[in-house]
Chains A and B, each alone.
Chain A
Amino acid sequence: MTEYLLILLSTALVNNVVLVKFLGLCPFMGVSNKLDTAIGMGLATTFVLTLAAASSWMIEHFILQPFDIGFLRILAFILIIAAVVQFTEMFIHKTSPMLYQLLGIFLPLITTNCAVLGVALLNIQEQHTFVESVVYGFGSALGFTLVMIIFAGIRQRLALSDVPDTFSGAPIGFITAGLLALAFLGFAGLPTG
Chain B
Amino acid sequence: MLYSAIASLTLMGLTLGFFLGLAGRYLKVESNPIVDELESLMPGSQCGQCGFPGCRPAAEAIVEGAAPVTICPPGGRALIEQLAAKLAIDFDLDSIEDKDPAFAQVSEETCIGCTRCFKVCPTDAIMGGPKQIHQVFREACTGCEACIEVCPTECLHMDGVEITLGTWRWPKPALAA
Q: How far apart are B3's CB and chain A's nearest CB, in angstroms?
A: 10
Is the CB of B168 closer than 8 A to any CB of chain A? Answer: no
Establish whether residues B1 and A169, one from each chain, have CB atoms under 8 Å apart when the complex forms. no
Q: How far is the CA of A63 from the CA of B13 in the complex (A)?
A: 13
Task: Classify chain A: how many residues form its interface, as a range.
Answer: 20 to 34
Establish whether residues A90 and B23, one from each chain, have CB atoms under 8 Å apart when the complex forms. yes
Establish whether residues A67 and B20, one from each chain, have CB atoms under 8 Å apart when the complex forms. no
Q: Mark B106-123, 1 if CB is under 8 A from A, else 0.
A: 000000000000000000
Is the CB of B98 closer than 8 A to any CB of chain A? Answer: no
Is the CB of B4 closer than 8 A to any CB of chain A? Answer: yes
Known contacts A72-B5, A101-B56, A104-B54: A83-B16 contact under CB 8 Å: yes
22 contacts between A and B (CB under 8 A): A63-B12, A67-B1, A67-B4, A67-B8, A68-B1, A69-B1, A69-B4, A76-B9, A79-B9, A79-B13, A83-B16, A87-B20, A87-B23, A90-B23, A90-B24, A90-B27, A91-B23, A94-B27, A97-B29, A101-B56, A104-B54, A168-B139
Interface residues in chain B, defined as those with a beta carbon under 8 Å from any beta carbon in chain A: 1, 4-5, 8-9, 12-13, 16, 19-20, 23-24, 27-29, 46, 53-54, 56-57, 139
Interface residues in chain A, defined as those with a beta carbon under 8 Å from any beta carbon in chain B: 59, 63-64, 67-69, 72, 75-76, 79-80, 83, 86-87, 90-91, 93-94, 97, 101-102, 104, 168-169
